[in-house]
Amino acid sequence: MPITKRALCVSPSLTLAITAKAKKMKAEGINVIGFGAGEPDFNTPDFIIDAAKEALDKGKTKYTPSSGLPELRKAICEKLKKDNGLTYNPSQIIVSNGAKHSLYNAIQAIIEEGDEVIIPAPFWLSYPELVKLAGGVPVIVDCADTNFKLTAEKLKKAITSKTKMLIINSPSNPTGAVYTKDELYSLAKVIEDSDIFVLSDEIYEKLVYGGAQHISIATYSPKLYEKTIVVNGMSKSYSMTGWRIGYLACEEKLAKAIDGMQSHATSNPNTISQWASIAALNNGASFIEKMQKTFDERRKYMFQRLKNMQYIDCPEPKGAFYVFVNVKELFNRKFKGELIENCLKLTELLLENVQVAVVPGNAFGADSYIRLSYAISMEEIKEGLDRIEKFISMTE
């Protein structure tokens, strides 16, 4: 059976592959410490689960409008106004099957065959694949030397006559980097003078630490507001990854086009999850505060431990729940006679020899790094870091 070029051009997710291998080992009774988690280890709060049960009990199980429940879109507008200083009408909100689906919809609605999309690296691994699925061309800009953040100078150099979009992710997966207001606004000035859109992935906005503050680039000016598609969702802030509710906010004409696409692709997002999401948005502040505090404690501990280890360098993350570790000095060293050629080989050796699962940085466009998540218990973090330290001490 023939397969389309767009399907064949997509690379499989390395994070899912590593997670699957670690889970298989665990199922075989092997004590694996998994630092690959891309979701909070907290259970969804009871009040959200209760709202879903109530929806079921009241028979709220039918189709909703393809763009989402009016009540949910209204609650999202209120959230965006309160938290981000952005004013939208419900008609500008499209609720989808997770933030990834929202990103997919936005890219499909804007990118034509051959259009270029600027993606700062390190990047979340799905961005280039989503662009390729739309027939676009990912233009990767290495930002490792600028604290993992795109600068106005680098943006200017990357823009060509074919550039259609810039993807910004703050706080960042995989680096934990958070753009300051000044950094975002310097990019905004360049964008205002260019005919490009901004896709702003803000899914980790509630998870910031050490005085960092989340700012949406759409707040810069009315012109940037019109050119920006803001993407967010329920997964990270409310520990609702499996509920699959994300949303985007954008200019009304674009929202209408995306709604039309979604109506044919997936109909509406899960109805019960939508009712639960309303409860989350209205009553979730105390849960977020508790989760953020716990993540911050783990972040501080992990950063200090890694910072003091030999042969690695660990920039301090300011957001999300990841630490992005430079392991280049370990390359060309040996572990039990095996050469550590690159981050992928290091990942394999860690899993096979000390039963620690991490994600290789080449999945994120950064070959000299590995990603560790602190969305696991403090006990597992301590044990996992002990194993990594032991592993490093045995290299030669």
Per-residue model confidence (pLDDT) at position 6: 84
Per-residue model confidence (pLDDT) at position 218: 98
**Chain centre distance of CA 120:** 13
Residue 21 has pLDDT above 90, yes or no: no
Residue 51 has pLDDT above 90, yes or no: yes
Q: Which residues contact 356 (CB under 8 A, 6 or more apart)?
A: 32, 33, 35, 350, 384, 387, 388, 391
Confidence band (pLDDT; 50, 70, 90) for 97?
A: very high
Task: Please spell the DSSP secondary structure of 65-111, one letter per residue.
Answer: -TT--HHHHHHHHHHHHHHH-----GGGEEEESSHHHHHHHHHHHHP
What is the residue-averaged pLDDT of the chain? 96
Does the reported pTM lie above 0.85?
yes
Confidence band (pLDDT; 50, 70, 90) for 91?
A: very high
Express as a percent the part of the chain with pLDDT over 70: 100
Give, as one character, the DSSP assignment of residue 43. P
Give, as one character, the DSSP assignment of residue 177. -
Per-residue model confidence (pLDDT) at position 143: 98
Range in 15-19, 102-106, 379-383 the model is least confident about: 15-19
Per-residue model confidence (pLDDT) at position 20: 79
For tokens 């995306």, the residue is 258
Phi and psi torsions of 113, nearest 5°: -55, 125
Residue 26 has pLDDT above 90, yes or no: no
Confidence band (pLDDT; 50, 70, 90) for 71?
A: very high
Tens digits of residue pLDDT in 342-376: 999 999 999 999 999 999 999 999 999 999 999 99
CB-neighbour burial class of residue 177 (10 A; exposed 0-12, middle 13-18, buried 19+): buried
For tokens 């009315």, the residue is 222
Tens digits of residue pLDDT in 131-189: 999 999 999 999 999 999 999 999 999 999 999 999 999 999 999 999 999 999 999 99
Residue 18 has pLDDT above 80, yes or no: no
CA nearest 369: which of 35, 22, 11?
35
Residue 19 has pLDDT above 80, yes or no: no
Residue 192 has pLDDT above 80, yes or no: yes
Per-residue model confidence (pLDDT) at position 1: 83
